[in-house]
Amino acid sequence: MKEKIYQNMVAGRIAVVKGKAEKSVQYTAASALQAERIHVVISERDGFAYYLAVASSILASEPNFKSELAAALPTHENHRGDGIYVCYANGVGTAIVFSGERFEYYFSESEAIADLIETEGLSVFDVSAAVGWALTSAVGRNESAGQQFGFLLARFAVGWLFVLVIILVGLHVASYFTKALSSAEITAAYAVATKQIETTQPLANDLANIEKVSNVAIKSGGWIEKFELKDGGDPSYRLSLPQWVSKDYVDALGAGVKTEFDRVSDRVVATRVGTTNFKSKVESKK
């Protein structure tokens, strides 16, 4: 399986603007591989991005693949400067020539790799036992961040409910061990605590809406420019998403979302105009 992955791998070095390496590598590698979805590992240094890439379909049966050839990337712990980084398996070899402005990838029979080494006359580093770095998709690189944000929201909601439960339990204890609270005071305190618990349902809905939008933004490599909730209604928001964002991301936002391409920022803008819960607004005035 590893031989098939390396046979279909590409590598390269491109000049990048700070913060734009992901986008530049996606365009370049996807074009070279003639694939819409790709897995990459990227290393940045001195205004350049160095990368290894393969079509995502090639990794379908080995999604956790880690490449020892990542040692050729300048920020890898096993990188040793200019030279030829090689690894061999089952009679075939892969090599990356790292020298000056060169970052070139080769896959061939072991004899051909040996000829390359002799011709180049550079130091040779066998990286077969090097620490491998995983090639990931754009979604995979942001998924953990999205999950962490979701866990934070969930912990907030659960924590709030826990506090309210403690209030009710505390009232039980207080009413049992002391006579300082009158029945009217206990009843009033129960009413306040119960009312607070009832408000956690719309709070949970709001948190769910925020989590859904933020997950799409984080996983796609975009950001939230505006997010607004009014009177318990549906949210209004504006997201800035990368140009290559797929329809799956937009569909995950739900109904009522409109997208357009912003030529100024060279990004896709997703907007949604929310609704106001007029019923709850009227009831609140009664």
Query: pLDDT for 28-83, tens place per residue?
Result: 999 899 888 899 999 999 999 999 999 999 988 887 899 999 999 999 999 999 99
Q: In the predicted model, is pLDDT for residue 143 greater than 50?
A: no
DSSP state of 122: -
Cα(222)–Cα(57) distance, integer angstroms: 24
SS3 content of the chain, % helix, strand, coil (to 5): 45, 25, 25
User: Which one is predicted more confidently, 136 or 84?
Assistant: 84
What integer is the mean pLDDT of 265-274?
86
Domain ranges of the chain: 2-136, 139-285
Which of 83-114 are b and which e, b meaning 16 or more Cβ less than 10 Å from the residue's Cβ?
bbbbbeeeebbbbbbbeeeebebbbeeeeebb
Confidence label for 231 from pLDDT (cuts 50, 70 and 90): low
User: Which one is predicted more confidently, 149 or 85?
Assistant: 85
User: Which one is predicted more confidently, 96 or 173?
Assistant: 96
What CA–CA distances, in Å, run from 89 to 10, 31, 60, 122, 128?
18, 28, 21, 22, 9
Q: In the predicted model, is pLDDT for residue 173 greater than 50?
A: no
